[in-house]
Amino acid sequence: MKRNIALLPGDGVGPEVTAEAVKVLKKIAENYNHEFNFTEGLIGGVAIDKFGNPFPKETEELCLKSDAILFGAIGDPKYDNDPKAKIRPEQGLLAMRKALGLYANVRPIFTYDSIIDKSPLKREIIQGVDFVVIRELIGGIYFGKRGRGEDGNSAYDTCSYTKEEIRRVAKFAFELSMRRRKLLTLVDKANVLETSRLWRETVQEMSKDYLQVTVSYMFVDNASMQIIKRPSEFDVILTENMFGDILTDEASVITGSIGMLPSASIGEKTSLYEPIHGSYPKAAGKNTANPIGTILSAAMMLEYSFGMKEEAQAVRSAVKKTLEQGYGTKDITKTHVLSTSDLGDQISKMI
């Protein structure tokens, strides 16, 4: 099978970790008789430096003509430390999500027995945790109207959703639930927010078409506690954009390192796969960043975009075996500490 992949390494450690995912994908192609063609594009700070635009037209066109996108990270301290900067790397990510219709962000949360003690949470709480957060990605407060008052002393950000936007991502969540444990939790703030009440009404209506799925409803403040207190009771969590952004970063501590977790952004035109960590500029160029989140994102690409379930499982099994042998970057092991590139080599050998 031949597939074209847009490669967007981005900023910071992005180029280093995506290089290891490419290494693993090339091994899969070799072992399973596939052909993966990679074409690189610029996004984020590196795109601003060259084009003055964090998501240039050339990159958008590359994404649209590709079968899937493998993305690294964006962000640069020179923009973070300048509150008056009018162009920021993160604007490229938001623009890309909107242009490509990347409406559903899929973030699995899981544990590995071999590194479970790296988590700050107790083993008995997190052992066997396996749930997925489905976050709506192109609506809500991040894409609503915003501005400053004329005197500069007030500001506003508007959260807005349509029923169709909610139905689209909720359908994805319900269908995923049907393939898992058939438990769906909607996280909202319906006791305060009108948008949350629309979310709850819409999901209640849709639940009649998925009678096998047990649906529960939880306010976001309670959910933030329960994800830490009893994470094993969750299966599929569905929520809006900003709540999902915050809750998934909170949930990342369950695994033990934010460098371990992958994600997929499912779109109308194509889909994007990326680790959930940021650009981590302090580690850029040091060959120490954990590439596993990106490698597992590549596994999600194989399964979700290409329908290659066996190949995806081969990648996940290789990661698991590598960890069981004590190999890892410094954030997850003290036994056999490897560099970014050496860990990528080790996982590739296990496939």
Last residue of a domain, one of 202, 232, 255: 255
Whether 222 is covered by a domain: the verdict is yes
Q: Which two tokens stand for residue 325?
A: 């042998």
Burial 22-56 (b: 16+ CB within 10 A, else e): bbbbebbbeeeebebeeeebbbbbbbbeeeebbbb
Query: What tens digit of pLDDT does each residue of 178-212 get?
Result: 999 999 999 999 999 999 999 999 999 999 999 99
Examine the domain organization and report whether 209 and 294 are in the same domain.
no
CB atoms under 10 Å from CB of 194, counted, come to 11
Q: Quote the pLDDT of residue 38.
A: 98
Residue 163, classed as helix, strand or coil, is helix
Supply 311's token pair. Answer: 């190949």
pLDDT at res. 78: 80
Helix (H) or strand (E) holding 104: strand 102-110
245 shares a domain with 165? yes
Using the 3D structure, point to which of 255, 278, 296 is the last residue of a domain.
Answer: 255
Query: Which amino acid, residue 32?
Result: Y
Same domain, 217 and 322: no
Quote the pLDDT of residue 81: 65
Residues 86 and 179 in one domain: no
Are residues 270 and 243 both part of a single domain? no
Q: What is the C-alpha to C-alpha distance for residues 11 and 9, in angstroms, rounded to an integer? A: 7
SS3 216: strand
Domain co-membership, 201 together with 308: no
For every residue of 243-306, which 3-state class applies, written as one string? Answer: HHHHHHHHHHHHHCCHHHCEEEEEECCCCEEEECCCCCHHHCCCCCCCCHHHHHHHHHHHHHCC
Run of H or E residues at 214: strand 214-219
228: domain CATH number is 3.40.50.2300
Whether 168 maps to a domain, the answer reads yes
Q: How confident is the model at residue 80 (pLDDT cuts 50, 70, 90)?
A: low
9 lies in some domain: yes
* Statement to judge: residues 128 and 230 lie in one domain: yes
Residue 154 in any domain: the answer is no
Whether residues 124 and 184 share a domain: the answer is: yes
| Other CB atoms within 10 A of residue 181 CB | 14
Residues 240 and 270 in one domain: no
AA letter at 28: I
The verdict on residue 75 lying in a domain is yes
End residue of a domain, out of 206, 239, 255: 255
Q: How many domains does the chain have?
A: 2
Secondary structure (3-state) at 55: coil
Give the residue-averaged pLDDT of 112-120: 93
Q: Which residue matches tokens 């409803």?
A: 217
Report the 10 Å Cβ neighbour count for 300: 21
Q: Is 148 inside a domain boundary?
A: no
The SS3 assignment for 114 reads helix
- Is the whole model's pTM more than 0.85, yes or no? yes
| CATH number (domain holding residue 289) | 3.40.718.10
pLDDT digits over 83-104, tens only?
666 788 889 988 999 999 999 9
- The arithmetic mean of pLDDT across residues 316-337, rounded, is 95
> Are 283 and 214 contained in the same domain?
no
- Is 191 a member of any domain? yes
Q: What is the mean pLDDT of residues 332-349?
A: 96
**Whether residue 78 sits in one domain with residue 32:** yes
Catalytic positions, written as ranges: 142, 189, 221, 245, 249
Residues 125 and 251 in one domain: yes
Report yes or no on 268 lying in a domain.
Answer: yes
- Summarize pLDDT for 275-324 with one digit per residue, the tens: 999 899 999 999 999 999 999 999 999 999 999 999 999 999 999 999 99
**Residue 322 belongs to domain spanning:** 1-106+260-351
Which of 212, 213, 235, 47 is closest to 131 using CA atoms? Answer: 235
Task: Return d(Cα 198, Cα 218) in angstroms, integer.
Answer: 14
